[in-house]
Amino acid sequence: MIALSVNINKIATLRNARGGNVPNVLENAKNIEMFGAHGITVHPRPDERHITYNDVRVLKENLNVELNIEGNPKEKSFVELVLETKPSQVTLVPDEIGQLTSNHGWDTIKEKDFLSEMIQLFSSYNIRTSIFIDPVEKYVEGAQKIGTDRIELYTENYAELYFKDPANSIDPFIKAAKRANELGLEINAGHDLNLENLSFFAAKIPNLKEVSIGHALIADALNYGMENTVNLYLRALRK
């Protein structure tokens, strides 16, 4: 079974737009857990424009499913938060302060020394590590040399090309996944996966462990309700 981790940043964005505690981030995360998701993903940024650092602390203390914290380890406050809360998984993402959303993966060759140091640090706290990369075989090979447990394939290009040419859109991801399998790396994926493109992706990627989905799932929940939406995504992963 491919695990579904729901990114709840957008719930926090809605809360922060008005102030106060509506919608309640923890309550929604617990509901998502109850509806069958296998994990909760958060991507706190230094400006705390959606998920706050305190949200992460509260979630870690109250969730029964895995907590996945995404962020850039070049930010000292992010590293400190991860070491404090000790999530099930940390996903290293090379985004910049103020960046709207993630838009590329790591160059695991150029950043080898820095990423190796970070992976060793998080691993010493028994936190599973994942590195966000583009579907390029040399970056997969670089990730393996760094010592990470998993890679997360950045899927925006797949989502953009899917309706025009499904076969070509998935091809680099299949190649990257096969190389990861050969090297003993586990595979996650995320960014712009949705109900229209998820089943095809999940069926084609060998040994896919987890998908992290936020924006599309939260948007769908406005139309279908959260419980129904979580189950629609779980069903898409089974097809």
Q: Which of 33, 66, 70, 141 is catalytic?
A: 70
Burial call 177-196: b when 16+ CB within 10 Å, e when fewer: bebbeeeebbbbbbbbbbbe
What Å distances lie between residue 159 and 3, 78, 101, 194, CA to CA?
Answer: 19, 29, 15, 8
Tokens 């084609």 -> residue: 204
Residue 225: count of CB within 10 angstroms of its CB: 12
Does the annotation count 104 as an active-site position? no
Site of tokens 């309706």: 163
Active site residue 70: yes
Q: Is 50 a catalytic residue?
A: no
Q: Which of 43, 66, 152, 210 is catalytic?
A: 43
Q: How far apart are CA 106 and CA 72, in angstroms?
A: 10
The DSSP annotation for 207-220 comes to TEEEEEE-HHHHHH
Q: Which of 66, 152, 191, 210 is catalytic?
A: 191
Active site residues: 43, 70, 191
